[in-house]
Amino acid sequence: MKYFVSRSIYTFNSGTEHSQANRTIMFNEHNDAARYITRDYNRLWVRDAERVNLSSNEVLNMYDYFQGTTEVAVTQNPIRAFSQIAFNEYQLVDHGPNYSTIDHAGRQLARINILPGTVGLVGDVEYYDRFDTLTSRDNFDWRGFKSSVDYFHPNGALGSRRFLNQDGDVVLENIYMNIDGQLQPTMWKLINYQGRDYRFDTEDQLFLFFLNEVMKTTQDNVIVSDHRDTDYVVADVQNVQSKWVAFHGLHADNHGMPFAAFTVALETRANDFDGIIVPTTKQKDAILRDFNQLNVKVGSDIAISEKHLAEEEVWLRDRIEGRIIFSGRLEADKRPMEALQAFLKVAKLVPKATFEFRGYTNDQQLLNDMKQVVNQNNMQERVIFGEYLTDSEMEEFYNKAQVIVNTSVGEAQGMHLIEAMGHGIPVVAYDTNYAINGLVENDVNGYVVTNGDQDQMAHRLQQILDNNVLWSKLSKAAYQKAREFSSEQIYKQWRNIFQN
């Protein structure tokens, strides 16, 4: 069994989660059993897994495992049919689409918050005492069952969280305490697990126990740590055939100094792994220059399904004329402001050019600054800041675009660029480590421009948009380049790593 390990699947996922999900799907499509393993408690993980095209039986979450809910099907739990509350005795008061309250004799007893992304389904229920102080909260899973209960101190601080099985029994308890002015979890108690109770000081201690329990259930286990927060836990896992670390980003700064998060795999626990897997030969060579004793292999972060590669090519006439796209996190290391500035130059010369950003941000100030620039240049009708899209929604996004830009300070592989080329989109990208020059060939499937040169980027964008014959040539080559990342080829690449 192949186990690919990280912290979670999120509502908004980075390249790490996308790569891990893509690989899990690829292995299972080749009848080579694989699971996406997650540590964090996330009662919406089934929904989030679907957004990256994972089925629930391809994912194994630690809390789900101990709660015995790994195979529970989705059942809707509408607020109007909520059996936990006797509505013949209490009054349900609607306060709009996000919550309702349960009132009795003129006092609010509880508040029912709607499950995110749904209409009228129970998300959690907060209970209040006669002083209107929050005392407890029932948390409901996306699949419709009560998953955990939070208990609060009189000051409103979280005191404990109890995780439930399907019978409503507490199987795991998490205690919170105030340490140096911050509320932190301090103890995890596993209750009556196979007839015994266990105590853990940290979540990672519990996670290691969980992983070792899972490894006992299958044979010929191969485990890969996909997230740097899980490296030192995976290093201690037992009963495995081999242990690996997969890097999904730049491991060092411009001076070659490793980032702190990567030192577990590169230095302190390197001997506990069979090797490190990186997406490009250039990154492999960079690591071996400084750590020549390590076993470093190359395994692509992305595989394009044979089904997608067999689809008809999208013609220029079926795309939005002049549409340039930016796909990825809107954060400083991706330099979206520079992409925007390049577009503003293009917009003066190509009247129908438009620019669409898709991706999430944790840097609201950067997003606000970009919107301010758009407003100052009266480009509100030509620059689109779209919502984060699911994997299936990205298909339409790519199929409508003419060109994709990349201004990142570096790309370990550039998954989004490969996905875009799989939809026939030429690339214009800054010349940075490690992947760009291996993906983009000048005047073949796009253009590589000098790092930071917005004028050069704008010139290449204008050149592509103004010349349909050139665009068609670049698009055809982009489709062809994407075939190098077919699921069949990338599966063999990864299989050979594990077999050798």
Pick the CATH number of 306-484 from 1.10.8.50, 3.40.50.2000, 3.30.565.10, 1.10.3720.10: 3.40.50.2000
- How does pLDDT run across 307-354, given as a tens digit for each residue? 999 999 999 999 999 999 999 999 999 999 999 999 999 999 999 999
| Torsion angle, alpha carbons of 15, 16, 19, 24, to 10 | -150
- The pLDDT value recorded for residue 377 is 98
Radius of gyration of the chain (CA): 25
Residue 85 has a pLDDT of: 79
Please name the residues in contact with 364: beta carbons below 8 A apart, sequence gap of 6 or more: none
pLDDT for residue 88: 78
pLDDT of residue 181: 81
**DSSP label at residue 69:** -
Question: Domain residue spans in the chain?
Answer: 306-484
Q: What is the pLDDT of residue 74?
A: 95
Measure the CA–CA gap between 396 and 2, rounded to whole angstroms: 32
Nearest CA to 279 among 69, 454, 435? 435
Collect the ranges in the chain with pLDDT lower than 70.
none
User: What is the pLDDT at residue 201?
Assistant: 95
Residues with Cβ within 8 Å of 309's Cβ and at least 6 positions away in sequence, in order, are 422, 482, 483, 486
Residues whose CB is less than 8 angstroms from the CB of residue 105 and which lie 6 or more positions away in sequence, other chains included: none
Q: Give the residue from 408, 413, 405 showing the smallest Cα distance to 457.
A: 405
Q: Is the peptide bond between 198 and the residue preceding it cis, with omega within 30 degrees of 0? A: no
CA–CA dist 107, 87 (Å, integer): 15
